Structure 1
Amino acid sequence: MLPPGKIPPEKLKELVFNRLGAPGERVLIGAGLGVDAAAIDFGERILVASTDPITGAEEGIGFYAVNVNANDVATFGARPKWFLVSILLPENSDEGLLSRIMGDLHESASRLGIAIVGGHTEVTPGLKKPIVVGTMLGEVEREKLVTSNGAKAGDAIILTKWAGLEGTAIIASERGEELEREFGREFVERAKSFIEMISVVEDALTANEIGVHAMHDPTEGGIANGLHEMADAAGLGFVVRGNKIPVREETAKICEFYGLNPLALISSGTLMIAAPQEKARDVVSALTEKGINASIVGEFVEDPETRVIIENDGERPLERPESDELWKVV
């Protein structure tokens, strides 16, 4: 049986990546481990395309759909511009649900300057919650293209904002009454508000102006899985320092309450950047000037077998999560 969440890498290699249709002559970057999007050659400009479903949330699902897909395109240095969306509704859904989802989609896309250009909408037998699947398209000048597989040994690993933002917001929304009894309403409202920070479009475009080798949006499996995905894509290892990885108090307390690992909690809103050491401080400064929290947490290393986290009690392997921590509580 396959676990909930992303399909494990070995199964992707066995069942997916060897069945990708005809060769694409203009495909510069196609499907692969840790690769967030595809890049297609259009001459002086590159078309960047990405697709992602939203399956673990109901409240704000349209907001998540736009921002998660926009994030993947932005990690290639591209500005997201066009969005296609498929909306799958449970049986017995009313018009109000569809109206709320479309309102979220419209508002979120408008805020980022994105046009919704097509899609599909249906009521789907067997669903318990709505599912929204988005495909985002963007473009970037050829010389500004950045890929998620471009990290180099010695690169600094930079994280923006905080680990587990999206997961924290989802749990606070889905389990709000329980959390209010434990921590109070103000705490829960702060945790819910983390949804407002899940866009990394400005993070990515700002970092790309300074000059970086790779960027990645760690979604399912959180920071831990994102590090593995980025290392997989580049054929590298990594060393990170646990005390440098930023975690908000609300995330830490919610994870402790439910027995979750914040580093394996879905983390849209955090951007993972591989930057040359000589530019790392400049990248952090540029992000900080925009009001975006940024931290240097480690570095990529040559040996792909070295994937460790250094904590107060010593060094240990940073295991790849089997599934996202979110699935334990929603």
Structure 2
Amino acid sequence: MKVGKLNWDDLNELIKENKSVNRDDVRVKNGVGEDCSVIEYGEYECVVSTDPITGAESNIGRLAVHINCNDIASCGVEPVGILVTILAPEHTTMEELKNVMKEIDEETKKLNVEILGGHTEITKAVNKLIVSCTAIGKGKKGSAVATSGAKEGDDIVVTKSLAMEGTSIAVNDYYEQIKEVLSETEVTEAKEYVDSISVALEGSLAGEFGVNSMHDITEGGVLGALWEMAEASKVGFKVYEDKMPITIVTRKVCSKLNLDPLRFISSGSMLITTRNGEELVKLLQQKGINASVIGNITKSKGVLIKSNIEYEVEPPERDELFTIEEKINKL
């Protein structure tokens, strides 16, 4: 099988064939495109999500905190705690473990999220450090926003710039292959993208504004996130390539490595659908968060408009991050 997320047909089959228990107090249940489950507790509800870091070597502690807390934020609720599992190969040093935990501690401090516990193990089962976290959030009953809430006619909004996470990883882990196309200033900019991968603020603001669905953009990029949202909501979408917010640095890196920025891992960007996208964009910009309306939700079929030509968006395959090494070999 190919490296990366399981393809969506196989994943959907696994999920559907293993749902023996169906509890009434689980309001939002697992499914393709739904990153969080929501459990009702009286007047409150608990939001939970889990994800590992497998495609990066630098900043893995920081990334692990934010990709998990971003899932909670995409429900419009506050993340309150995180559980951390570290699986490390035999050659790992204590200093490396300390550095990862220091990153995790620093990022959780910024978000006011407590490290609740976890597990750390040296194992022959992995050949590089793996960090996996489970994040837990809390909100008033009925307040959590699901990925599956997108409605026909909604505007589609994305925050910040796409593929920031992928660009940061590429510059950190494959610097020798891309240094000729970037200035030192651009290299610094790319490395600093990791400082902007939290979507906690926009998640909170959008939740208060009132939106129909939210989904943080991770593996598979914006097109993968759109397909997941549409699949979960049983709708379609029409989006425009020329409206996608992509920095010059990201375009240079993707061009050099022959990567599609629309299918490149994009933690730091939130996908939001709402009846009044322009008003939401204004609100976010007032709070210092760039945002763009890139299209709208339709009745069926996902479509990307590129140079006035319609292309149907297929289910996401593995993220461009996992193709970098084989593409480098062809340079």
The normalised TM-score by structure 2 is: 0.95
Equivalent residues, number? 325
The separation in 2 between residues aligned to 1:88 and 1:23, in whole angstroms, is: 31
Q: 1:307 aligns with which of 299, 302, 307?
A: 302
Residue of structure 1 in register with 2:248 after alignment: 249
Q: What amino acid does structure 2 have at the position aligned with 1:55?
A: T
CA displacement 1:57-79 (0-9 Å, x = unmatched):
12110100110000001111110
On the 8 A contact 2:221/2:265 being kept in 1, the answer is: yes
Alignment of 1:264-303 (within 5 A): 264-276=263-275, 279-303=276-300
Distance of 1:224 and 1:148 partners within structure 2: 15
Structure 1, unpaired ranges of 5+: none
* Structure 2: unaligned runs, 5 residues or longer: 326-331
Which residue identity does 1:264 align to in structure 2? Answer: R
- Aligned 1:162-241 pairs, distance under 5 A: 162-241=161-240
- After superposition, what is the alpha-carbon deviation per residue over 1:175-229, rounded to whole angstroms, capped at 9, x for unaligned? 1233223323322121111111110010111111111000001110100100000
In the alignment, which residue of structure 2 is the partner of 1:23? 22
Shifted more, 94-103 versus 16-25: the winner is: 16-25
What is the alpha-carbon distance in structure 1 between the residues aligned to residue 306 and residue 180 of structure 2?
32
Offset at 1:15? 2.2
Q: Do the aligned partners of 1:310 and 1:316 also contact (CA within 8 Å) in 2?
A: yes
Q: CA deviation at 1:124?
A: 1.7
CA drift of 1:129 comes to: 1.6
Structure 1 match to 2:321: 326
Whichever residue aligns with residue 161 of structure 2, its letter is: W
1:147-162 aligned at under 5 Å gives the runs 147-162=146-161
Please say if residues 159 and 297 of structure 1, whose CA atoms lie closer than 8 Å, have aligned partners that are also in contact.
yes
Give, in whole Å, the separation in 1 of the partners of 2:170 and 2:323: 10
In structure 2, how many angstroms separate the alpha carbons of the residues matched to 1:140 and 1:62? 26
CA distances 1:103-124 after superposition (whole Å, capped 9, x unpaired) = 0000000110000011000012
The one-character-per-residue Cα deviations of 1:270-318 (angstroms, maximum 9, x if unpaired) are 1000101xx2222111100111110000111112xx2111122422212
Structure 1 stretch 310-319 or stretch 114-123: which is displaced more?
310-319
Distance verdict in 2 for CA 1:132–1:162, change over 3 Å: same
Q: Which residue of 2 aligns with 1:37?
A: 36
**How far off is 1:143 after superposition?**
4.0
Matched to 2:278, the amino acid is R
Matched, 1:108 2:102: no
Q: Is 1:210–1:282's contact at 8 Å kept on the other side of the alignment?
A: no
Mapped to 1, the partners of 2:144 and 2:117 lie a distance apart of 26
**Helix, strand or coil: the match of 2:124?**
coil
Deviations 1:68-97 (A, max 9, x none): 000001111110001001001111111011
CA distance in structure 2 between the partners assigned to 1:271 and 1:63 by the alignment: 18
CA RMSD in angstroms comes to 1.2
**Which range is displaced more, 57-66 or 3-12?**
3-12
Shift of 1:147: 0.7
Match status 1:317 vs 2:316: no
Q: After superposition, what is the alpha-carbon deviation per residue over 1:231-250, rounded to whole angstroms, capped at 9, x for unaligned?
A: 00000111001111110111
Tell me which stretches of 4 or more aligned residues in structure 1 moved more than 3 Å: none
CA distance in 2, matches of 1:36, 1:126: 26
CA distance, structure 1, for counterparts of residue 316 and residue 39 of structure 2 = 31
